[in-house]
Chains A and B, each alone.
Chain A
Amino acid sequence: MTAVEDRAGLPSDEPAAPEIGKARRRKEDARLITGKTTWTDNMVLPGMLHLAVVRSPVAHARITHVDVSAVREAPGVIAVYTGQDFAEEQGSLPCAWPVTPDMVNPGHPSIAVDQVNHVGEAVAVIVARTKAAAQDAVELADVDYEPLPVVLDMERAVAEGADLVHDHLESNTSYHFVFDAGEMGTGSDTDQAFADADVVVSRRFVQQRLIPAFMEPRSVVVQPQGDNYTMWSATQIPHILRVMAAMVTGIPEHKLRVVAPDVGGGFGGKLQVNPEEILCLLIARRLGKPVKWTETRSESLMTAHHGRDQIQFVDVAADREGNVKGLRVRLLADMGAYLRLITPGVPALGAFMYPGIYKFPAYRFECDGVFTNKVPTDAYRGAGRPEATFAIERIMDELAVELGMDPLELRRRNWIDAAEFPFTTVAGLAYDSGDYETATQQALELLGYDELRAEQQRRRESNDPVQLGIGFSTFTEMCGLAPSRVLGSLSFGAGGWEHAAIRMLPTGKVEVVTGSTPHGQGHETAWSQLVADSLGVPFEDVEVLHGDTAISSRGLDTYGSRSLVVGGSAVVKAADKVIAKARKIAAHLLEASEDDLDFAGGKFSVRGTPGTGLGIQEIALAIFAAHDYPEGIEPSIDAEATFDPENFSFPHGTHLCAMEVDTETGFVKIRKYACVDDVGTIVNPLIVEGQVHGGLAQGIAQALYEEAVYDDDGNLTTGTFVDYLVPAASDLPHFDTGNTVHAAPGNPIGAKGVGEAGCIASTPAVVNAALDAVRHLGVTDIRMPLTPERVWRALHDGGDGGERATARTNAQAADSTEGPSMTGGAL
């Protein structure tokens, strides 16, 4: 009888229930929720100095003069630096994704030297003994600006003779990215498909600019020790940050340790190499003292990268029976003033998802990345895929209207049948597994579809001031980023593998080191469940270590719903290696052949000899002592593994929204929301449901609440949470969620990824529902977010309420076949 079995309270021969599938509460939550943990801003180091950043109040200007003499005299101020002070050593912030060979990247100094290109750009940095002293000195900085014309509107920015964001460049276009299925051999000729089609529907959709709005502000601490540097940062990507910071600053990689302690959310917003991270390193190097920078919420909303901000011109071609024949997408994607870590790649990542779950024979995508005098865009929950899903799910509804078909019937007619998996789409992706019909049926039942349709009819007939609509989103997404070779083919600057290590401690406890750095996802709990099942050890005996490049030496961090799919798989592979090593020890100690050993419930036993056996935790102690182990092997059962997926995984689901629209005020209220997601094998149902709920909140927020608005001078109008409306629980409905499970064939867990599903799927369902409620009243489209005023104006004025949110529907779209480069562009 071992101590482990005593604690588990189980008879030794009765296996514990599997951990995978158990709705465990997250072991990390107590410390995260109470804040009794190492948030970066909680850190206090001896002699630590504090930074405050002087930021540009203008969107576009030459810096003609900077006078910081008054700052230098201010109480508590140790030093103040301007762009000139770092001009020679700051280099450029990195952009890791040159999506085309001729992409134009103007470079991005961490601190502006002679020109500012968006409001909030750093122009000076103050170092003081206290945070308050640094902040007090900010207003003493005297900077003269010579204004330049402000470029904000993408369509104007790409027009002939437009003012330039970067006047040393030829235009405001960074790149022109094309994916043409005909040219790639994954589909037929798109122009021909449109020429032959009975019906063409063209729409212009606006993906408004969003702010990731993570809960914990960004914060950085850098401690120099000799020629070594340790950086703590509230980042999603300590491993990538280390490589990039080393390359930018010239500090050798092995002299730089990066730690992401507990991190309070990111949603892609902390998938970045920030100017302030580089500045902290440069200043710590100069002063030889530890420094800290923590942003204010205002700085965060104004200067942390934003998301979305695309104009989508979408054309769909079909025959009269509703069989889709072709899809054309042309994007204008707002880069903001600079290219950050993966700014240009976000729309390109979406390029492959526009066909959605439908069997399009022809497809062409093109995108212009456009510079404006706004803060750069970059990854935000879904990154390219929500935009694609919105476009396809919205235009399918528009096509259904044009054809007079039920929107669900149109989808059914065109989606991939369960028997057709694996299915290679017109975008060249091999969808792995799924069953759209079953998920849809379940979702319809969860929603109470038939009753709501009947009520909708009653409300229409009685001309009720509150109208009801139902919206569909039958979505899929590509997750598990990413197969390294595929990333290579897309010119991405890194691979997509993930690394894990398992250390068996002498007392039988287990340390799992993961390269996938969590920032709120619950890795510690889910990884513990994986390892408990793989090694047959108690859940409580597993500790998960992460986020410190000195502990977790290899990793590619957390984004793109990759952690469980790729990082979790690495953990399982490492556990397999531990078992393989332990098997040799067990065979030796049990004096049996390896082939005669069974491993179950954490125990090796000799087949046919019940009651004998040796636990893996006992083997850990035996190999620590190392008094008796086989010749020719190392005395260790620790193991590491790197998992590089062969393919993406493709979660899918059906999301249904029932929406009430108050036609008198324009107020929209979600009456009911039901979704059935297939995210593959579910390790922890509680975490999965939490991810779906949070994703839904963010996707619904794009549809109804959130928009980053700039005024004509390029100031962020929505600079506080009074104006940038993030919904709270009180603003959201109850969610009826369900799952189907089709295990992903591409990884040992069978997981597909769930981090982005709700955020990707929900937005079009919500907008489709609102339009379904009021289309019979003459409304054709409403721009996101669906503010009450926009809804009311659409109802009041008809059409799209005067916002240029929509275009036209033609049975024969004459000029949409004129040339691919202007597809929909004249609308």
Chain B
Amino acid sequence: MIPAPFSYARPTTVEEALQAIAEGGEDVKVLAGGQSLIPVMRLRLAAPETVVDLGRVDGLRGVRDDGDAIVIGAMTTHSDVLSDPLIAEHAPLIAEATGTVADRQVRHRGTFGGALVHADPAGDLPAVALALDAEFVIVGPGGRRTVPAAEFFVDYLTTAVEEGELLVEVRVPKLAGSWGMRYEKFNRVAQAWSIVAVAAVVRRENGRIAEARVGLTNMGPTPLRARQVEEALAGAEATAEAVAAAAERAAEGTEPSSDLNAQADYRQHLATVLTRRAVTAAAGL
């Protein structure tokens, strides 16, 4: 379990990091918490020419209040996310999902931004970011740009972050009104990846569901929004029956993979059950 040889850079600022990436040669990998990258390097499934370690870039760590949004630094660890008061207040869904990520040791090393940029379809945070309409702030040689979650996840393990760029922070809009949230994760053992999971964010108004956003984990190469469910729920009565009927549509249009844990049809079935449970809980039913 020894990785192939590689060059190593350890910048202390974002500018230094961009420079190290630019100078790193053909195949540069950015090391955040290393909980996905290091294992694949040890298995020699990845053999980068250069590893740029962001561990000393202090400016990328932490959560701040930015008026209508909270801003989470890309290098904020999962365990820091779990104890952060701003996240607890404005985006408890993130904390709930983060609490299901792997095990305590991994959560002390793994980072919020690293998990999102890795974009593993079975990872928990992409669907959450999607459901919360988060925005991704990316810097590169060409400057700084912001990408909405709906455009961030491009394909299997692929995001809008281009070569030479870095994800520096994630903006999560504060939600106005009476919102409930729930992350329903289904896996076989506590530290395993999600077989399927559902992130639900629901606003109730006058006994009705005014708005619902449903993110699906591991139902395709990227996280998905269950748009048919969202449309069926918009304006629906806040009843168990209405939620159940809407949830039946959770798997429509999805093409999940088949693997050791689940065939595609079982994943689709799970998506409907978990959506019903997540929305029911988020709606306070």
Binding site for B on A (CB under 8 A): 131-132, 135-136, 139, 296-298, 664-665, 667, 705, 709, 717-718, 720, 722-723, 725, 727-728, 730-731, 787-789, 792-793
Q: Do B190 and A136 have beta carbons less than 8 Å apart?
A: no
Residues of A within 8 A of B72 (CB): none
B189 (CB) vs chain A CBs: closest residue = A731
Binds A, one of B1-9, B129-137, B217-225, B233-241: B1-9
Residues of B within 8 A of A788 (CB): 186, 188, 195, 262
| Contacting residue for A298 out of B4, B43, B266, CB 8 A | B43
Residues of B within 8 A of A792 (CB): 266, 269
Q: Do B189 and A296 have beta carbons less than 8 Å apart?
A: no
B260 (CB) vs chain A CBs: closest residue = A723
Interface residues of B in 167-204 (CB under 8 A from A): 186, 188-193, 195
B4 (CB) vs chain A CBs: closest residue = A136
Give Cα A723–Cα B39 distance, bound, in whole angstroms: 14
Q: Smallest Cβ distance from A726 to chain B, in angstroms?
A: 8
Give Cα A667–Cα B195 distance, bound, in whole angstroms: 12
Q: Smallest Cβ distance from A720 to chain B, in angstroms?
A: 8
Q: Do B193 and A789 have beta carbons less than 8 Å apart?
A: no
| Contacting residue for A789 out of B2, B191, B266, B274, CB 8 A | B266
Q: Do B189 and A793 have beta carbons less than 8 Å apart?
A: no
Residues of B within 8 A of A720 (CB): 43
| Contacting residue for B273 out of A131, A139, A665, A787, CB 8 A | A665
B103 touches A (CB below 8 Å)? yes
Q: Smallest Cβ distance from B208 to chain A, in angstroms?
A: 26
> Which of the four size classes fits the interface of chain B?
20 to 34
B272 (CB) vs chain A CBs: closest residue = A664
Q: Which of B43, B189, B269 has the most A CB atoms < 10 Å from its CB?
A: B189
The verdict on A296 contacting B1 (CB below 8 Å), with A723-B260, A725-B192, A789-B261 known, is yes
B263 touches A (CB below 8 Å)? yes
A717 (CB) vs chain B CBs: closest residue = B260
Q: Which of A297, A665, A723 has the most B CB atoms < 10 Å from its CB?
A: A665
What would 4 more interface pairs be, CB under 8 Å, given A136-B5, A728-B190?
A136-B4, A725-B188, A728-B103, A788-B195
Residues of A within 8 A of B1 (CB): 296-298
Residues of B within 8 A of A705 (CB): 188-189
Residues of B within 8 A of A789 (CB): 261-263, 266
Residues of A within 8 A of B103 (CB): 728
A295 (CB) vs chain B CBs: closest residue = B1
The verdict on A132 contacting B263 (CB below 8 Å), with A705-B189, A722-B193, A731-B190 known, is no
Give Cα A731–Cα B191 distance, bound, in whole angstroms: 9
Give Cα A136–Cα B47 distance, bound, in whole angstroms: 11
Q: Do A728 and B273 have beta carbons less than 8 Å apart?
A: no
Give Cα A579–Cα B208 distance, bound, in whole angstroms: 86
Residues of A within 8 A of B193 (CB): 722
Residues of B within 8 A of A728 (CB): 103, 189-191
Residues of A within 8 A of B269 (CB): 792
Q: Do A730 and B190 have beta carbons less than 8 Å apart?
A: yes
Give Cα A663–Cα B173 distance, bound, in whole angstroms: 38
Give Cα A580–Cα B4 distance, bound, in whole angstroms: 64
B283 touches A (CB below 8 Å)? no
Q: Do B260 and A727 have beta carbons less than 8 Å apart?
A: no
B270 touches A (CB below 8 Å)? yes
Interface residues of B in 231-285 (CB under 8 A from A): 260-263, 266, 269-270, 273-274
Nearest 5 interchain pairs by C-beta: A730-B190, A296-B1, A731-B189, A135-B2, A664-B273
Binding site for A on B (CB under 8 A): 1-2, 4-5, 43-44, 103, 186, 188-193, 195, 260-263, 266, 269-270, 273-274
Q: Smallest Cβ distance from B13 to chain A, in angstroms?
A: 31
A792 (CB) vs chain B CBs: closest residue = B266
Give Cα A722–Cα B123 distance, bound, in whole angstroms: 13
Q: Smallest Cβ distance from A721 to chain B, in angstroms?
A: 9
Give Cα A642–Cα B2 distance, bound, in whole angstroms: 46
Give Cα A132–Cα B5 distance, bound, in whole angstroms: 9
Q: Do A667 and B186 have beta carbons less than 8 Å apart?
A: yes
| Contacting residue for A718 out of B4, B191, B260, CB 8 A | B260
B44 (CB) vs chain A CBs: closest residue = A139
Q: Smallest Cβ distance from A427 to chain B, in angstroms?
A: 37
Give Cα A298–Cα B43 distance, bound, in whole angstroms: 8
Q: Smallest Cβ distance from A701 to chain B, in angstroms?
A: 10
Give Cα A717–Cα B259 distance, bound, in whole angstroms: 10
Residues of A within 8 A of B263 (CB): 789
Q: Smallest Cβ distance from A712 to chain B, in angstroms?
A: 14
Give Cα A296–Cα B266 distance, bound, in whole angstroms: 34
Give Cα A720–Cα B103 distance, bound, in whole angstroms: 17
Give Cα A730–Cα B191 distance, bound, in whole angstroms: 9
Q: Do A787 and B188 have beta carbons less than 8 Å apart?
A: yes
Q: Do B261 and A727 have beta carbons less than 8 Å apart?
A: no
Residues of B within 8 A of A132 (CB): 2
Give Cα A705–Cα B193 distance, bound, in whole angstroms: 14
Q: Smallest Cβ distance from A403 to chain B, in angstroms?
A: 35
B273 (CB) vs chain A CBs: closest residue = A664
Q: Do A787 and B261 have beta carbons less than 8 Å apart?
A: yes
Give Cα A127–Cα B211 distance, bound, in whole angstroms: 65
Q: Smallest Cβ distance from B227 to chain A, in angstroms?
A: 23
Give Cα A131–Cα B42 distance, bound, in whole angstroms: 13
A299 (CB) vs chain B CBs: closest residue = B1
Give Cα A439–Cα B46 distance, bound, in whole angstroms: 55
Give Cα A705–Cα B1 distance, bound, in whole angstroms: 25
Residues of A within 8 A of B274 (CB): 665
| Contacting residue for A665 out of B2, B191, B270, CB 8 A | B270
**Could you show 6 A-B contacts with beta carbons less than 8 Å apart?**
A139-B44, A725-B188, A727-B189, A728-B190, A728-B191, A789-B266
Q: Smallest Cβ distance from B240 to chain A, in angstroms?
A: 13
Give Cα A711–Cα B193 distance, bound, in whole angstroms: 21
Q: Do A131 and B262 have beta carbons less than 8 Å apart?
A: no
A724 (CB) vs chain B CBs: closest residue = B260
Give Cα A728–Cα B105 distance, bound, in whole angstroms: 13
Q: Smallest Cβ distance from B71 to chain A, in angstroms?
A: 32
Residues of B within 8 A of A709 (CB): 260
Q: Smallest Cβ distance from B191 to chain A, in angstroms?
A: 6
Residues of B within 8 A of A296 (CB): 1
Give Cα A706–Cα B95 distance, bound, in whole angstroms: 30
Residues of B within 8 A of A665 (CB): 186, 270, 273-274
Give Cα A397–Cα B137 distance, bound, in whole angstroms: 60
Give Cα A730–Cα B274 distance, bound, in whole angstroms: 22
| Contacting residue for B2 out of A131, A667, A787, CB 8 A | A131
Q: Smallest Cβ distance from B192 to chain A, in angstroms?
A: 7
A662 (CB) vs chain B CBs: closest residue = B273
Give Cα A136–Cα B5 distance, bound, in whole angstroms: 8
Q: Smallest Cβ distance from A786 to chain B, in angstroms?
A: 10
B1 (CB) vs chain A CBs: closest residue = A296
Give Cα A664–Cα B195 distance, bound, in whole angstroms: 15
Q: Which of A131, A139, A664 has the most B CB atoms < 10 Å from its CB?
A: A664
Q: Smallest Cβ distance from A38 to chain B, in angstroms?
A: 21
Give Cα A297–Cα B43 distance, bound, in whole angstroms: 10
B267 (CB) vs chain A CBs: closest residue = A789
Residues of B within 8 A of A731 (CB): 189-190
Q: Smallest Cβ distance from A567 to chain B, in angstroms?
A: 35
Give Cα A135–Cα B47 distance, bound, in whole angstroms: 13
Give Cα A793–Cα B266 distance, bound, in whole angstroms: 8
Give Cα A298–Cα B40 distance, bound, in whole angstroms: 12
Residues of B within 8 A of A667 (CB): 186
Q: Which of B43, B192, B260 has the most A CB atoms < 10 Å from its CB?
A: B260
Give Cα A727–Cα B192 distance, bound, in whole angstroms: 10
Q: Smallest Cβ distance from B80 to chain A, in angstroms?
A: 22
Give Cα A84–Cα B2 distance, bound, in whole angstroms: 28
Residues of A within 8 A of B273 (CB): 664-665
Q: Smallest Cβ distance from B266 to chain A, in angstroms?
A: 5
Residues of B within 8 A of A718 (CB): 260
A138 (CB) vs chain B CBs: closest residue = B44
Residues of A within 8 A of B2 (CB): 131-132, 135-136
Give Cα A788–Cα B191 distance, bound, in whole angstroms: 16
Q: Smallest Cβ distance from B44 to chain A, in angstroms?
A: 8
Q: Smallest Cβ distance from A709 to chain B, in angstroms?
A: 6
